[in-house]
Amino acid sequence: MKEKFRDEGTISPLPLYKTIITWILRLAVGGIFIFSGFVKGIDPWGTLYKMQDYVNVMPLPALSDGVLLTGVFLLFALEFLTGVFLVTGSFRRGAPILVMLFMVGMLPLTFWIALKSPVADCGCFGDAWIISNWDTFWKNVAITAAAVWLIIYNRRVHWLVTPALQWLLFCISAIYIIAAGVVGYSVQPLIDFRPYPVGSLLTKADADNSSEHFTFIYEKEGVQKEFSETDTLPDEADGWTFVDRKAVAAPKDNANDMKTAGDFHIWTEDGDTDMTSDAIGSREGKRLILMVPDLSEVSIAPTWKINALKKWAEAHDTDFIAVMAGSPEEIANWKDLSLTDYPIYTAEDTSIKEVARGNPSVVYTEDGLIKWKSTLSAIPGEDTLDSPQTTDASMLHLDLTDRAKEVTAIYLCMIAVLVMLSFTQKISWRRLFTGGKSRKKGENPSKGDDKTVKNDDERVSDGDKAPRGE
């Protein structure tokens, strides 16, 4: 019985309860890895921001955004592929080992995060599901225990995709998740888990009545002091100098609650005056908002497109403003180099990142509602903006939602086909892909057919052995 399992991969020698436990762990751990890789993959910007947080709080050498972004794509692709392999029983030796390698790094890291809380959350599931640092640690403990079981028993339980087709599963899964990541980075995340999804309000009707509050930092004679919104702010004539402004969330029942849509605030260039009600508080009209979460990282190159976009907005009865995170000096330098003629306001970089991904990005609103978001690079060029046929703001936005649904459906159908083919009996995979062994000239086609089929079937059996399918 065991020999038959080893050669044909058709019968498991494990007791039934162990087989059931193995399948439960495959689906549970695989589902976690698929979900984790998927939510990171559709929002590479969010994963990049979290990795930057880790680099800032850990004794690591400075890494460029390009290096971190490469790490982001490798991380979510490996997570997603590992989950797919577990759920389908593919690469039965290698998949549990990949899980254990993840845990070797993540278990001590999340234990340190739980003890020291250097970051608010680990970012394991992006913005889709935020859990506490201790919950993250115990989740990884459970995954580690499951990985130990799977390393022992996974290869002894049947696959859903035969080893002869597992390379196809790898290819289509890798293409799918990387394509989702490219769209999320170049345009916007295909699914928006942040507080400001399309269709929500950017600001509340009463912008001053918000769950978010601010403290203001002023400095005098080398000493910094914080002032709340209810305090009387010091006069610069008395020697005080404005330094910074920090967002302070009001107490909430659930510490993991995110801000609700409508809490976005903007300020004057010097950060002294809240301009939310005056600049974006109106519920009437159309508005294009240029979002720049890190002005120091933006070159002068995109200014031609920004100015062309501003020109288009003026010609189509649409307000155009910019909201930036940067020092007064950086903003003044930007204005000098880009020759801006649009209003510029400031906001917290984290608030801008919550509204839209990209540096810079563009948000379009109608009557206060967010209609679409896009990175600036995904906005059409000057030829489209100057075209008389471009009369509606929706023509400036690349909406890939429907296409993404179609691609996802095709991807799932392809996996289903691989599973069905894997359980189709009496198929010679070598003949299916190569057309069988070529015959010598003059050889009788019927002679030796039975022997050829038998040899081919034996090769298939060998291909189902654990070492080739793992």
Q: pLDDT for 284-341, tens place per residue? A: 889 999 999 999 999 888 999 999 999 999 999 999 999 999 888 899 999 988 888 8
Domain extents in the chain: 2-186, 271-399
Which pLDDT belongs to residue 247? 64
The DSSP code for 127 is T
Query: How would DSSP label each residue in 283-302?
Result: SSSEEEEEEES-GGG--STT
Instruction: Give the neighbor-by-neighbor strand order of the sheet with 223-228.
Output: 223-228, 212-220, 241-249
Which of residues 400 and 437 earns the better pLDDT score?
A: 400
Q: pLDDT for 168-187, tens place per residue? A: 999 999 999 999 999 999 99
Q: pLDDT for 85-115, tens place per residue? A: 999 999 999 999 999 999 999 999 999 999 9
The DSSP code for 249 is E
Q: pLDDT for 30-72, tens place per residue? A: 999 999 999 999 999 999 999 988 888 887 777 888 899 999 9
pLDDT of 234 > 90? The answer is no
Contact 362, 373 (CB under 8 A): yes
Distances (CA, A) of 452 to 10, 57, 433, 445: 23, 63, 16, 11
* Strand 212-220 versus strand 223-228 pairing type: antiparallel
CATH architecture of the region 271-399: 3-Layer(aba) Sandwich (3.40)
Q: Is the peptide bond before 251 cis (omega within 30 degrees of 0)?
A: no
Contact 210, 261 (CB under 8 A): no
201-205, 272-276, 332-336, 395-399, range with the lowest pLDDT? 201-205
Which pLDDT belongs to residue 22? 96
- The token duo for 226 is 């914080």
């400095």: which residue's tokens? 219
